[in-house]
Structure 1
Amino acid sequence: MSAAAPTARGHGDIRTADRTPRRFPAGSGRYALLAVALFLCVRALGLAALAVRAASTGKSPRVLLSERWDSLWYARVAEHGYAFTLNAPDGRSLSSTAFFPLLPWLERSVHAVSGLSLPAAGLLVSALASVLAAWGIFLVVRHAHGDRAGVVCVVLWAAVPVGIVQSMAYSEALFTALAAWGLLCVLREKWVSAGVLASLAGLTRPVGLAVTAALFLAVWLHHRSGTGTAAPARTRAVLGCLIAPAGAAAYILWVGVRRGHLLGYLDVQSEWGNGFDGGWAFARFLTGGSAALAVIALAALLLLAYWPHHIGARQLQPPPLIAYSALVTVLAVGASGYFGSKPRLLLPAFPLLIPLAVVLTRRRPALTRTVLAALTLGSAVYGAYWLTGSGPP
């Protein structure tokens, strides 16, 4: 039996060698609290740096966090529904239906209950969602690699250069929370719960498809292994798979009805300058428009995207996590929209950080703390200058 288990895992079983009771001692709850506490410390430092930088430039941190770029659009949807359209100077008609509805629905609900302004409600939703995201990330990584790796991965996620977005009235924090908890349900084979969370993720961002794909893959692997042959288990798996794409599908179909044809949402995205070209436009942007250099840049981008997933597979990272982060990465890098937004579009792809988290847990604690402290400081400074400059449109 002991010889057969690694073979099954090596062929894609979603259960890993680390899923034993010894990996989850009674002190695991303290590790979860530590992960969330460290996350809050990293974010507090980032906000403090932003406040200092904003004061020196005469800008308002509150406005930067909740009343510019996408956050302004979400507030408009919360206030006016999808009746708002902006006529751009170049003649394009920019429709608010480009923004998925779950975040503005939550903003409107918090506004109605608390009396907060819509921008403030958006900040509160994102703050709570970011904490839930940190907690969910810890649990997902702990599932595969233990408590210490979970804590380190949460700090890495908080300290990415564009981590300030986690504190903005944007949808990234909400989406990452839904994705992390959805993936946790996938790994624990809670198919219906995973389907519900995937559906809610699909109501938050189009990339919710990645959570649905992870669920489909996990169900397929589970069925192939022969461990889910009982009728109730099959029923729950099928139900979860039916629920998962429903959120995104319902919204896209609703937009299609408003636009007068089934693929109307693609027209909305096209008017915003968004599409999918496999990363070709991004590669040309990076190389100044040269086609020959763009081919090299595109190959380099593919290699960079492949490397963390390859390392994750070698570390026996569960296949659904690899599938999720790979799809998020492909959709972010391969989109032809505004290139400055790509770093924040990669923010939900937290499994990309797991290989580094595992490596750091195997190093001396002093070295790990030094690396994390340096990344935290760099993220705070970068986020403050970035948000008071070009920012994340």
Structure 2
Amino acid sequence: MATVIEVARRRGTQIQWALPLAVYALSRLLQLTFVWWMADNGEVRSRLLAWDGGHFVRLAEEGYPTGYSYTTEGALTGNGLAFFPGYPMLVRIVHLATGLEVGTAAITVAWIAGAFAAVLLCALGTRLYDERVGVALTALFCTQPMSMALSMAYSEALFVAMVAGMFLFAHRGDWLLAGVFGLGAALTRPTGAAAALGLAVAAAMAVHQSRRAARDPDESDPPKPIWQPIAAAALALAGVPGYLLWVGLRVGDLGAWFDIQTAGWGTTFDYGRSTFEFVRTALRTGDGWIQVSIAWMVIGVVVLAAVAVAKKVWIPLQVYGLIALVMVLGQGGYYHSKPRLLVPVLLILVPPAIALGRAKPRTAALVLSGCAAFGLWYGSYLITVWHYAI
């Protein structure tokens, strides 16, 4: 009997960290192989540090600018203040602590953060459903069309690690850790506001349950203190407004962050008008397969979100996912950045993960292999052959 218990414990430990790490490592190896194969002269490093990666590296080296930036013609343009501080500051810490060149430190932080994201996401899926769903969720996350961002000097990997950890600890009732991870998410990307609202819903559910337990004389467990979930939610909710306020005070204009985003990347929130027009145009007269493929992805994620709601996914995860999806699809900007911006919207991965978790192992393996082959190739194509920023 003791042997059986020990085997079960070891198997549980393997599911918790070894298997998601193996999935993550294999996906990164295949991804980098694709990049090496498709890039000019097999140049991988420059591709991993491209576009926004350059901004993050400069922030880690030089810190934040003190005000607006302008073109030579005097027009307002984007600068480093558009980027939240979690990832570049962590890169700076690693650079100073280890002596790694800043670009190398940026890639290292992203890779390590991605490993944590895989482990925490698998644990979250396992807790909400079961082990097979947890593994399928991790595999889908690591191989989705722009999972390439997990290998680049971008903040997506760190953000997902924070969000997955936040929801995992909230579901366990470890509210101090949930609040810390929620604040970390809020200081890493603007969609941290959606994560904080998801945590606030989880906290409200916990407070309601605690009060109901206090009124129930038959409840065997003593009611938990309600200040912990409230404090966790408040901590996470303070992150995004705190950074926006800091930028406003630094520049001398409380709307500075929004002005910088609009000037540099055209990401004004227009309630989805730009996205709708893009999809309609792409499907009617689109002349490039990237444009058309992204249009179908946008349609697909909306459908998956609706299915997730119908399947009654854990409500805090629903709240985060739906708000994050609205933030991505509701803003203007470069259409070819949409697949990357959708990487942290974990809700859309839950329905296929449940289906794969319920499928026969051979069927699940074949489907995941096909998804991985396309997703890993697609992301590699977009940062090597495709000529625009992602």
Q: Distance in 2 between matches of 1:125 and 1:290?
A: 38
* Matched-pair contact (CA < 8 Å) for 1:98–1:269: yes
Asked if 1:368 is matched to 2:364, the reply is: yes
- 1:174-211, Cα deviation, whole Å (9 max, x unpaired): 10100100111121122222121111111111110111
SS at match of 2:78: strand
TM-fit CA distance, 1:255: 0.6
SS at match of 2:84: coil
Q: Distance in 1 between matches of 2:87 and 2:110?
A: 9
The count of corresponding residues between Structure 1 and Structure 2 is 361
* Matched-pair contact (CA < 8 Å) for 1:53–1:385: yes
Equivalent position of 2:290 in the other structure: none
Q: Distance in 2 between matches of 1:139 and 1:227?
A: 28
Q: Distance in 1 between matches of 2:117 and 2:297?
A: 27
Q: Distance in 2 between matches of 1:373 and 1:44?
A: 14
Amino acid at match of 2:52: D
TM-fit CA distance, 1:288: 3.5
User: Given the alignment, which residue of 38, 51, 54 partners 1:72?
Assistant: 54
Equivalent position of 1:342 in the other structure: 338
Equivalent position of 1:117 in the other structure: 101
Range moving further from structure 2, 176-185 or 84-93? 84-93
Amino acid at match of 1:43: R
Equivalent position of 2:351 in the other structure: 355
Equivalent position of 2:269 in the other structure: 276
- 1:129-175, Cα deviation, whole Å (9 max, x unpaired): 00000011101111111001101111111111111111001000010
TM-score where L is the length of structure 2:
0.86
* Matched-pair contact (CA < 8 Å) for 1:108–1:118: yes
TM-fit CA distance, 1:75: 0.7
User: Given the alignment, which residue of 327, 332, 338 partners 2:328?
Assistant: 332
- 1:258-295, Cα deviation, whole Å (9 max, x unpaired): 2223222222222222211111012222334999xxxx
Q: Distance in 1 between matches of 2:28 and 2:86?
A: 24
Instruction: Call closer, same or farther: CA 1:305–1:46 in 2, change over 3 Å.
Output: closer
Question: How is 1:219-298 mapped onto 2 (pairs within 5 angstroms)?
Answer: 219-225=203-209, 226-227=211-212, 233-272=225-264, 273-288=266-281
Q: Distance in 2 between matches of 1:241 and 1:358?
A: 28
Q: Distance in 2 between matches of 1:218 and 1:117?
A: 40
Asked if 1:217 is matched to 2:210, the reply is: no
- 1:15-69, Cα deviation, whole Å (9 max, x unpaired): xxxxxxx9xx522211231122012111210111111111xx2362101102x20
Percent of matched pairs sharing the same residue: 30
Instruction: Call closer, same or farther: CA 1:44–1:88 in 2, change over 3 Å.
Output: farther
Equivalent position of 2:76 in the other structure: 92
TM-fit CA distance, 1:362: 1.9
Instruction: Call closer, same or farther: CA 1:391–1:42 in 2, change over 3 Å.
Output: farther
Q: Distance in 2 between matches of 1:228 and 1:177?
A: 32
* Matched-pair contact (CA < 8 Å) for 2:322–2:347: no
Q: Distance in 1 between matches of 2:223 and 2:92?
A: 41
TM-fit CA distance, 1:321: 0.9
CA RMSD of aligned residues (A): 2.6
Range moving further from structure 2, 313-322 or 68-77? 313-322
TM-score where L is the length of structure 1:
0.85
Q: Distance in 2 between matches of 1:101 and 1:197?
A: 14
Equivalent position of 1:46 in the other structure: 31
- 1:331-372, Cα deviation, whole Å (9 max, x unpaired): 111111222111111101123111111111222211111111
Equivalent position of 1:29 in the other structure: 13
Range moving further from structure 2, 25-34 or 85-94? 85-94
Instruction: Call closer, same or farther: CA 1:306–1:163 in 2, change over 3 Å.
Output: closer
Equivalent position of 1:140 in the other structure: 124
Instruction: Call closer, same or farther: CA 1:188–1:358 in 2, change over 3 Å.
Output: same
Instruction: Call closer, same or farther: CA 1:215–1:78 in 2, change over 3 Å.
Output: same
* Matched-pair contact (CA < 8 Å) for 1:161–1:382: yes
* Matched-pair contact (CA < 8 Å) for 1:31–1:147: yes
* Matched-pair contact (CA < 8 Å) for 2:35–2:42: no
Q: Distance in 1 between matches of 2:363 and 2:136?
A: 12
Amino acid at match of 2:33: A
Q: Distance in 2 between matches of 1:301 and 1:160?
A: 11
Asked if 1:107 is matched to 2:100, the reply is: no
Q: Distance in 1 between matches of 2:175 and 2:122?
A: 20
Amino acid at match of 1:188: R
TM-fit CA distance, 1:305: 4.9
TM-fit CA distance, 1:232: 6.0
Q: Which runs of 5+ in 1 are unaligned?
A: 1-21, 292-299
Q: Distance in 1 between matches of 2:374 and 2:300?
A: 22
Range moving further from structure 2, 155-164 or 357-366? 357-366
Asked if 1:385 is matched to 2:381, the reply is: yes
